[in-house]
Amino acid sequence: MTSAEGESARRLRIPLDEHTVMSLRAGDRVLLSGVLYAARDAAHRKMVEALRGGGRLPLDLHGQVIYYVGPTPAPPGRAVGAAGPTTSGRMDPYTPPLLQQGLRGMVGKGPRGPQVQEAMCRAHAVYFVVTGGAGALLARHIVEATVVAYPELGTEALRRLVVDDMPALVAVDAHGGNLFASGPQAFAAGSGSGVVA
C-alpha cells in the first residue's frame, strides 16, 4: 500500500466531496493529500460525550477525514515521529454519531463492524487503510501537525495533519464493498484459491 505509488493510484484532495466518495470502490489505490484530523480512542470518547451532552464538536467535520493515529513524539525538525494507524474497530461505537456530523472518511487498519458499514452507506462515507506497523514510512507523508483540541490527552490529542501523497487503499466503500470480506474469501481454504487479488 505505502509503496504502491504506481500509475494506478488515484490522487485525492481532502476535504472530500460526496461525488468523489461515491466514485470510490473497495480495492482502489489512492494517494491522500490535504488535511487529516488525527483522533483515536480518548478524543473520540470526548467528541461523542460532547454531542450527547448537547455540546459542539471542536471542529466542523463536514467533508473531513479522521486518521486513527497517536504518533510518537516528533524529533527536531519533523512534524511527527512514527505515525501509523491504530485498530479502527475500537472506534466503531463512536463512528455513527460522527458520520451524522458530516464526517466523510476514515483512515485506519483492520475491519469495521456491520453497523459502521451500514452507517457509511447511509452517510456516503469511505474507509481507507494504510499499512499497520509502518509508522516510520507513513510519517514521511505527514508534513505538518498542530494540536487543535484536547492537548491534555498527549499523544491522543486531536491534531490537524497536513499530508502529502499518503498511499492508502479503499477498504470499505459507500456501496457496501468490503475488502476485509472479499480479500480473505479469495484465499481461504476451500474457496478454490488461485485467485490473485
Partner 1 sequence: MREISAERISSVVASLFGKACCSLAPDVEAALRAARDKERSETGRQVLDDLIANAEVAAAESLPLCQDTGLAVVFADVGQEVCLVGGSWEEAIQSGVRTAYTQRLLRMSCVSDPAGARVNTKDNTPAVIHYRLVPGDRVRLVALAKGAGAENKSVLAMLEPSRGRSGVVATVVEAVSAGGASACPPLIVGVGIGGNFELAPLLAKRALLRPLGSHHHEPRLGELEDELEQACNRLGIGPMGLGGEVTVLDVFVEEAPCHIASLPVAVNIQCHSQRHREVWV
Binding residues for partner 1, rule: CB under 8 A, are 1-4, 42, 69-75, 81-84, 86-90, 109-111, 129, 131-137, 139-140, 153-155, 169, 171, 179-180, 182-189, 191, 193, 196-197
Measured from the CB atom, the residue of 48 and 179 that comes closer to partner 1 is 179
Measured from the CB atom, the residue of 15 and 162 that comes closer to partner 1 is 162
CB of 109 to partner 1, least distance (A): 6
Measured from the CB atom, the residue of 56 and 197 that comes closer to partner 1 is 197
Separation of alpha carbons 101 and 106, rounded Å: 13
Cross-strand partners of 163: 34, 142
Sign of CA dihedral 155, 125, 99, 113: negative
Measured from the CB atom, the residue of 61 and 177 that comes closer to partner 1 is 177
CB of 17 to partner 1, least distance (A): 27
CB of 15 to partner 1, least distance (A): 24
Closest CA to 137 of 9, 5, 40: 5
CB of 39 to partner 1, least distance (A): 14
CB of 171 to partner 1, least distance (A): 7
Measured from the CB atom, the residue of 154 and 176 that comes closer to partner 1 is 154
Quote helix, strand, coil % in the chain, to nearest 5.
Answer: 30, 25, 45
List, in order, residues 6 or more apart from 174 with CB less than 8 Å away. 21, 22, 24, 120, 121, 123, 124, 125, 126
Set of cell numbers at residue 48? 461523542
DSSP string, 53-94: TT---SS--TT-EEE---PPPPPTT-S-S---PPBGGGGGGG
CB of 35 to partner 1, least distance (A): 19
Measured from the CB atom, the residue of 113 and 176 that comes closer to partner 1 is 113
List the Cα angle 185/4/117 in 5-degree steps: 45
